[in-house]
Structures are given as C-alpha cells and as structure tokens.
Amino acid sequence: MQKLKSLSEFETHDHPCSVYADNEELKQGFVPFLQSGLLAGERCIYFIDENKREFVLDALRENNFDVDHYLDNGALLITHTRDAHLLEEYFGENKMLDFWTLSLNQARQAGFDTLRAAVEMTWALSELPGCELLAPYETRLNRFTDSNPVVVLCQYNRTKFSPEKIKAIIHAHPIVVVKDQFLQNTQFVPSQAFEEDNIVHDIDAIIENLRLIRRLEEANRANQSQKLQCVGLYNEIENLASLLSRELQPAMGMIESQLRLLAVRYHEKLGPDADEFIEKSVEASNKASRMVDDLWNYAHIGFPGHSDVEEVDANAILKGVLDFMEPQIEHSGALIQYDTLPTFPIVKSHFIYLFTALIDNAIRYAGGKRPVLHISAAKSAHNELTFCVVDNGKGIDTMYSQDVFKPFQRIDGKIDENSTGMGLTICKRIMDHYGGRIWFEPAAPVGSIFYFSLPSVGAIDDTAFSDTLTDTPLHVPHYNFSDERSKAG
C-alpha cells in the first residue's frame, strides 16, 4: 500500500475503510476525517454501534474543536446503526443505498453540497438477516460514492471480525486507514470485477436470507398490530380508572361524612366500643380514598394531557412544597436545608410529587428523632441532572433496594394508617417516564440518601448550583445535621 501524502488528499467520492484494534486507534481515524469535513462545510454523520454518542463528541472536542457549533447548525449528526443499517431488524443492500440517497438529498436541502459519514461496522456482527452480505454491499457503495458527492469511512474492529472477513473488506476499499495513516490500497479490486473470495455466492444462503427477511417483516407487522391493541387496552384501563375514581370518590366521601356525623351525634351515647368502631371506620374510608387517588396518579403518568413539560424553578417548587407541608414540618420539628437548585424542563406536578413524597417519607420514618434533611442537585458533563435528599432517619437496608419501590410495600412490615404504600412506587414510575432512575444508599453515620436522576435535560447554567456541588453525586459529604440554619427559598 502506498501512503497518502496528507489528509487534504482525502477527497469527495472516496470510500475508505478503517481497520482498528481499540478505541484509541478508532479515534485516530475518524477524528481528523470528520473535523476536516466540518471545516470544509460538509454535512457529517457518525453512526454509533459499539460506542456511545458521548464518546464521539468527547473525541471530536480534542484540541478545542468547537463541536457544539456544528451540532447547533446541523452540520454534524450522530445516529445509531439500528436506525439506518439495521432499520426494521434486517440489513438490505437496496434499502441501505436508498438511505444514502435520502441522506444526501436531506443534506442538499439543508445547504450542504457534500455528505461525509463514518460508520462503526460492528452492526454486521449482529447475525440479523442480510448482515452476511457485507463485502458485496461495500462494492456497491463504491459505485454510489463514485457517482455522488459522498465520502464514507467504514470502520472495522479487527479484534471482532475474522481475518477472512477483514481481508475481503480490504479488497473492497480503495483506501485503508490504519491509526492515523491513510494508505492507497494496491490490493483493491474494482467493483465491476469484485467477487468475495472469488467464488459464486451461495444461492441457497441468499434465498434463505430472503425468507428470513420475509418472516421478519411479517413478525414486524404482527408486532405493530399488537402495539395498537396494547394502546387500545391502555386507553380502556385509563377510562376505567377515570370511571372508578369518578364513581368511588363521591361514594367514599358520603361514607366518610356519614361516619363523622355518627361520631359527632352519638359520641359516648352508644358506648366506648361503638366510638372506637366509628373512628376506625372513618380512618379506613379516608385511607381508601387516598389509595384511589394514588392509583389514579400512578396510572396517568405519561398519558397525553397529563404530561405538559415546562421550565420549572426547583427552588420555587421546593418552597411551595415546604409551605404546603408546613403543619407536618412544624409538628415534627423537622429541619430542612437545601442548596441552590436549577431550572430545567419537567412536568411541574411530577416534580412536586417527587419532593413531597421524599420529604414526607423522611419525616415519617425519622425513628423518633428530630428529622433533619439536606437537598441538593448536581449535573454531569453530559447534562444529566441528579437530585439527592439526605435524611438522618433510621435508614433502609440495601437488601430492600428494589422492594421499596414496589406497590404497597412496607419494609418494616408495619401498617401506617397515614400512608398508602404508593409514594416511592409513583416516584419510580415518574422517573421511568423520563428515562431516568431513582435509588437510595445508606447515609453515614445514620439515615438514607435518595437520588433521582434525569437524563440529558439540555444546557444547565453552572451558576444555578452552589459552589459546594460537584459532578453527579454518587456519595455526598457528611452534612452537619446539628446546624440550625435552613434555607427557605
């Protein structure tokens, strides 16, 4: 192979392949390849497969390259091979060439004359139908790049592909990239003469592949039909929940009001046993009403009309929650401290519920001592936003890390007349709705730390956080719970 003089000789219509052994070698190939295209005003696409979006962006940011500028103006796109090469769970040459044509047309409509792409080719190891026809596809892609303003870098992990496959792939590419070297391939076989391994393709294998694709398409249609049925069933469940709430709440309200009336009119007239029975009946009807409310809230998270996302100020939300809970806070003597919190997009009612449930739990299970809480937030380098609520209560054993989020679960086995057992369950459903998570860890020396973490929520201003916060907290400092200072907004 003859080494190219410089990266500037890498031109439109080229179709190189990169052969790498690790991510460092992978970066040495695609970073200059994409950076040069972006600087030249081309539309660039990176198809991830075995790596993640953050890996690509961090690599491109090396040497202070302004990646965010190109993301903002649409010059740089990052997508997954499952949304292109393996769309509909199979690979097809014609389907993929149609994809390249569509991508080129979209680039032109956006004002870019040239399309440049780098692809992680490990998708071909998925064993999905069509993936075995790899080298013939690369040959057809040569014809496409020859006749269109397109540059495609196909990246092969030499530790995962067989030597035979790598050899066939090299034969199908006019240029080979190894680390930071661009080599003119003297072993390249022109597309019109190329046959993988110089043998006629196995016709039976191709026919079987077509049969697999047909069965997969039929399965996809059946799956789509099942999805529509599930949506219909879910709508029926929502309507049923609405009907139950509408019908049960007035009935239970009537029962509760009549029982209270009995308690007032016949207090000490029917005997002490009757007074106790009436009191317990009032409590039970009140709890049943709250359980219906909680089941309604659980079922409606994520439904249209119940999920209007807006920018919320976490400081204002927390202050409102503390004002609402003031009687409970004063009765328990709770001290609640919190740092400066950010503004970010979420459904307002969801965030109110998260704060209310976690604060209520901390106060309720303080273990007979004065409840003390500390609330903070932090972001990661990728704008993942994590809140943590630290308490000084009796704590929860980590063996119950999953059970605490199940419906109607009470770790201590005790029935709390003021609790439905759904608080943390609804918190988890809220986080699942956003693709986030909620978990807890023991606090030292006592208590628990509850975290709830949202995935990327867009740019978050660093000034929104107090100076004491670091990246997403996995462990928090030992707060001085004896400190009487608290922040109220």
CATH number at residue 349: 3.30.565.10
- The CATH number assigned to the domain holding 106 equals 3.40.50.300
Is 469 domain-assigned? no
Top-ranked range on mean pLDDT: pick from 84-88, 164-168, 383-387 = 84-88
Alpha-carbon distance of 262 to 277, in angstroms, equals 11
Q: Are residues 269 and 392 in the same domain?
A: no
Top-ranked range on mean pLDDT: pick from 289-293, 301-305, 318-322, 483-487 = 318-322
* Model pLDDT, residue 67: 93
* Model pLDDT, residue 208: 56
Q: In the structure, what pLDDT confidence band is assigned to residue 403 with cuts at 50, 70 and 90?
A: confident
* Model pLDDT, residue 105: 94
Does 482 or 122 have the greater pLDDT score? 122
Q: Are residues 53 and 195 in the same domain?
A: yes
DSSP string across 387-434: EEEEE-SS---GGGTTGGGSTT--TT-PPPTT--S-HHHHHHHHHHHT
Is 482 domain-assigned? no
Q: How many residues does the chain have?
A: 489
Q: Are residues 259 and 364 in the same domain?
A: no
Is 278 domain-assigned? yes
Nearest CA-CA partner of 193 in 263, 136, 278, 251: 136
Q: pTM of the prediction?
A: 0.47
Tell me the average pLDDT of the chain: 78
Q: Are residues 229 and 185 in the same domain?
A: no
Is 485 domain-assigned? no
Q: Are residues 411 and 459 in the same domain?
A: yes
Among the candidates 168, 201, 234, a domain finishes at 201
Q: Are residues 12 and 145 in the same domain?
A: yes
Decide if pLDDT at 49 tops 80: yes
Decide if pLDDT at 382 tops 70: no
Query: Is the distance from CB of 488 to CB of 334 less than 8 angstroms?
Result: no
Decide if pLDDT at 2 tops 90: no
Q: Which of 85-89, 112-116, 440-444 has the lowest mean pLDDT?
A: 440-444
Q: Are residues 192 and 264 in the same domain?
A: no
Is 167 domain-assigned? yes
Specify the number of domains making up the chain.
3
Alpha-carbon distance of 178 to 30, in angstroms, equals 11
Query: Tokens 């004359």 belong to which residue?
Result: 113
Decide if pLDDT at 180 tops 60: yes
Q: Are residues 61 and 165 in the same domain?
A: yes
Q: Are residues 128 and 147 in the same domain?
A: yes
* Model pLDDT, residue 3: 42
CB atoms within 10 A of CB 437: 14
Is 440 domain-assigned? yes
Q: Are residues 369 and 437 in the same domain?
A: yes
Alpha-carbon distance of 353 to 313, in angstroms, equals 15
Is 232 domain-assigned? yes
Is 292 domain-assigned? yes
* % pLDDT > 70, the chain: 77
Q: Which domain holds residue 425?
A: 309-464
